[in-house]
Chains A and B, each alone.
Chain A
Amino acid sequence: MFPNLYGIIAEFDNPESLLDAAHSARSAGYRDMDAYAPMPVEGLAEAIGYRSSWVQRMVLAAGILGACGGFGLCWWMTVVAYPHNVAGRPLNSWPAYVPITFEGMVLIACITAVVGMLALNGLPQPYHPVFNVERFSRASRDRFFLCIEATDPQFDPNATRQFLENANPLEVIDVAP
Chain B
Amino acid sequence: MKPEDQESTSVAVLDPGPDKIIGPGHDYGSVTDEIGGVVFRPFLRTPPQMFIGFAIAFLLVNLLMVAVTWLFLRGVGIWGIMIPVAWGFAIVNFVWWIGIGHAGTLISAILLLLKQDWRTSINRFSESMTLFAVACAGVFPILHLGRPWLAYWLLPYPNTMWLWPQPRSPLIWDVFAVSTYATVSLLFWFTGLIPDFATMRDKAGNPVAQKLFGMLAMGWRNSAKHWARYQKAYLLLAGLSTPLVVSVHSVVSFDFAVAIVPGWHTTIFPPYFVAGAVYSGFAMVLTLAIPVRRWYHLEDLITMRHIECMSKVMLATGLIVAYGYGMEAFMSWYSGNQYERYAFVNRMWAGGYWWTYWILILCNIVIPQALWSRRVRMSIPAVFVIALVVNVGMWLERFVIVVTSLSRDFVPSSWGMYYPTIWDWSTYAGTIGVFLALMFLFIRGLPAISIFEMREVVHHAESHVEPTHVP
Contacts and interface: CB of A to CB of B under 8 A. Distances in A.
Interface in A4-43: 15, 22, 34-41
A36 B233 CA distance: 19
A78 B187 CA distance: 31
A78 B163 CA distance: 11
Nearest to B220: A123
A45 B228 contact: yes
Given A103-B177, A117-B229, A130-B221, A142 B28 contact: yes
A113 B230 contact: no
Contact of A142 (B27, B176, B225): B27
A37 B177 contact: no
B247 A142 contact: no
Contacts of A50: 224-225, 228
Contacts, number: 188
Interface in A127-147: 127-128, 130-131, 137-142
B456 A78 contact: no
B449 to A, nearest CB: 14
A35 B218 contact: no
Interface string B207-243: 0000000000011111111111111110011001101
The residue in A102, A113, A125, A127 that gathers the most chain B C-beta atoms within 10 A of its C-beta is: A113
Given A97-B167, A107-B180, A107-B183, A77 B156 contact: yes
B446 to A, nearest CB: 15
Interface string B116-137: 0000000000000000000000
Contact of B29 (A100, A111, A130, A141): A141
Given A82-B164, A100-B167, A39 B219 contact: no
Contact of B167 (A77, A117, A130): A77
B331 interface: no
Given A78-B167, A96-B167, A141 B32 contact: yes
B361 interface: no
A77 B198 CA distance: 45
Interface stretch (A52-60, A151-159, A165-173): A52-60
A99 B247 contact: yes
Interface in B389-423: none
Nearest to A86: B168
A114 B187 CA distance: 7
A117 B233 contact: yes
Secondary structure class of chain A's binding surface, majority of residues: helix
The residue in B27, B29, B168, B243 that gathers the most chain A C-beta atoms within 10 A of its C-beta is: B168
Q: Range of interface residues on chain B? A: 35 or more
Interface string A50-78: 10101110010001000000100110011
B236 A34 contact: no
A143 B403 CA distance: 58
Secondary structure class of chain B's binding surface, majority of residues: helix
Contact of B224 (A44, A117, A142): A44
Contacts of A88: none
Interface string A86-130: 000000010011011011101101110110111011011111101
Nearest to A143: B28
A93 B224 contact: no
Contacts of A111: 183, 187
A123 B223 contact: no
The residue in B219, B220, B453 that gathers the most chain A C-beta atoms within 10 A of its C-beta is: B219
A1 interface: no
Contacts of B187: 110-111, 113-114
A112 B202 CA distance: 28
Interface in B132-183: 156, 162-168, 170, 172-173, 176-177, 180, 183
A67 to B, nearest CB: 12
A48 interface: yes
B296 to A, nearest CB: 20
Contact of B236 (A38, A40, A55, A138): A55
Given A73-B156, A82-B164, A96-B168, A40 B225 contact: no
Q: Range of interface residues on chain A? A: 35 or more
Nearest to A48: B224
Contacts of A70: 176
B184 A125 contact: no
Contacts of B156: 73, 77
Contact of A139 (B222, B229, B232, B236): B222
A114 B167 contact: no
Contacts of B172: 100
B199 A36 contact: no
A113 to B, nearest CB: 5
Interface string B70-84: 000000000000000
B203 interface: yes
A106 B244 contact: yes
A103 B218 contact: no
The residue in B240, B241, B456 that gathers the most chain A C-beta atoms within 10 A of its C-beta is: B240
A36 B223 CA distance: 4
Contact of B28 (A78, A125, A137, A141): A141
B232 A55 contact: yes
Contacts of A128: 219, 221
Contacts of B188: 110
Given A39-B455, A56-B232, A121 B225 contact: yes
B22 interface: no
11 contacts: A40-B456, A41-B227, A63-B240, A103-B173, A103-B177, A106-B247, A110-B183, A114-B191, A125-B218, A127-B219, A139-B221
Given A114-B191, A117-B230, 12 more contacts: A37-B224, A41-B459, A45-B225, A100-B173, A107-B183, A110-B188, A118-B218, A123-B226, A139-B221, A140-B195, A140-B199, A141-B28
Closest 6 CB pairs of A and B: A124-B218, A142-B28, A45-B228, A117-B233, A125-B219, A96-B168
